[in-house]
């Protein structure tokens, strides 16, 4: 009876410290696996993807693969033609310009709201992500980890704005940002990790000071530098591709 009383008490008041079990759809898991392959380069830009091949490799039916490809198309990682044939995107110089300029517009708008709305605990979380990124860069962690932490910092920054439409728009391009950072490998640039550490810390400090001009200036410097590096690396890669000898 005593044991039953304990259970009843827990049922009534709720069990503290346990997160609910999330149901994750199979199509979402398939999308995550394909996305990971695209972002990490095991599935290359321009590569064709067929539902049949993907279903066979992943050990699932074609239905969740079809749904996953629709999601990845929405994220801008694949393109499908009129016959529904899927191909991993190959970013052009115009694509780089559009993604970077749109990101700049979204984040500079978000930070105006974040300065007013960020609570002390929000700043602690943002600062924690910035420190994790710095430590990972200094310890030579993988490109995947550095990109993950950099985007986590910026997503948290946009989240702090409380501007739901800005957040939705930013999330619609975040995987394209990640794709560009991987394919152009700017995180591995000699001076880039230390520059990111400086910019991130200055942004956090500006929010703490409630200084929107300070925040906007350093955020703009950061993202414009990212744009310059991405454009330069993209141009170098395009040139090396055209100069490759034909066999």
Residue 79 DSSP SS3? strand
Q: Are residues 111 and 158 in the same domain?
A: yes
- Beta strands 86-88 and 78-80, pairing class: antiparallel
Q: Are residues 198 and 101 in the same domain?
A: yes
Range of the domain at 35: 25-88
For residue 183, give the CATH number of its domain.
1.20.120.530
Mean pLDDT of 43-64: 93
Least confident span in 8-22, 68-82, 146-160: 8-22
* pLDDT above 60 for 11: no
- The residues, any chain, with a CB within 8 Å of residue 238's CB and separated by 6 or more, are 93
Confirm whether 5 is domain-assigned. Answer: no
* pLDDT above 70 for 24: no
* pLDDT above 60 for 95: yes
Q: Are residues 122 and 239 in the same domain?
A: yes
| Closest by Cα among 82, 93, 78 to 38 | 78
Q: Are residues 124 and 51 in the same domain?
A: no
Confirm whether 15 is domain-assigned. Answer: no
pLDDT per residue as tens digits for the range 182-210: 888 766 555 666 677 788 989 999 999 99
* pLDDT above 70 for 79: yes
Least confident span in 4-8, 9-13, 19-23, 195-199: 4-8
Q: Are residues 166 and 199 in the same domain?
A: yes
Annotate 110-131 with b (16+ C-beta within 10 A) or e (fewer): bbebbbeebeeebbebbbebbe
- As a dihedral over the C-alpha atoms of residue 189, residue 231, residue 112, residue 206, rounded to 10 degrees, the angle is 30
When divided into structural domains, the chain yields a total of 2
* pLDDT above 60 for 146: yes
Q: Are residues 101 and 210 in the same domain?
A: yes
Q: 118 vs 45, 155, 162, 173, CA distance in Å? A: 39, 14, 9, 23
How many Cα atoms occupy the beta-carbon half-sphere of 209 within 13 Å?
12
Q: Are residues 35 and 100 in the same domain?
A: no
55 and 62 Cβ atoms separated by less than 8 Å = yes
Q: Are residues 125 and 169 in the same domain?
A: yes
Residue 80 DSSP SS3? strand
| pLDDT reported for residue 6 | 38
CA separation for the pair 104, 107 (Å, rounded): 5
Q: 103 vs 3, 61, 165, 175, 220, CA distance in Å? A: 56, 36, 13, 12, 10
17 and 2 Cβ atoms separated by less than 8 Å = no
């Amino acid at each position: 009876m005593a044991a039953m009383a304990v259970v009843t008490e827990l049922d009534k008041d709720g069990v503290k410290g346990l997160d609910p079990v999330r149901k994750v759809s199979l199509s979402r898991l398939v999308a995550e696996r394909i996305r990971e392959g695209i972002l990490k380069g095991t599935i290359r830009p321009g590569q064709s993807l067929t539902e049949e091949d993907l279903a066979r490799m992943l050990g699932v039916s074609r239905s969740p693969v079809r749904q996953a490809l629709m999601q990845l198309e929405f994220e801008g990682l694949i393109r499908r033609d009129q016959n529904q044939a899927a191909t991993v995107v190959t970013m052009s110089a115009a694509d780089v310009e559009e993604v970077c300029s749109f990101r700049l517009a979204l984040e500079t708008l978000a930070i105006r709201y974040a300065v007013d709305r960020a609570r002390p605990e929000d700043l602690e979380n943002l600062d924690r992500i910035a420190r994790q990124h710095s430590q990972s860069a200094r310890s030579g962690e993988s490109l995947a980890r550095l990109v993950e932490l950099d985007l986590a910092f910026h997503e948290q920054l946009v989240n702090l704005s409380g501007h739901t439409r800005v957040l939705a728009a930013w999330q619609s391009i975040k995987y394209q940002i990640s794709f560009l950072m991987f394919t152009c490998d700017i995180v591995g640039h000699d001076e880039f990790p230390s520059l990111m550490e400086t910019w991130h810390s200055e942004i956090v400090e500006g929010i703490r000071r409630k200084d929107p001009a300070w925040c906007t200036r350093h955020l703009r410097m950061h993202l414009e530098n990212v744009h310059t590096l991405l454009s330069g690396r993209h141009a170098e890669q395009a040139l090396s591709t055209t100069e490759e000898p034909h066999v």
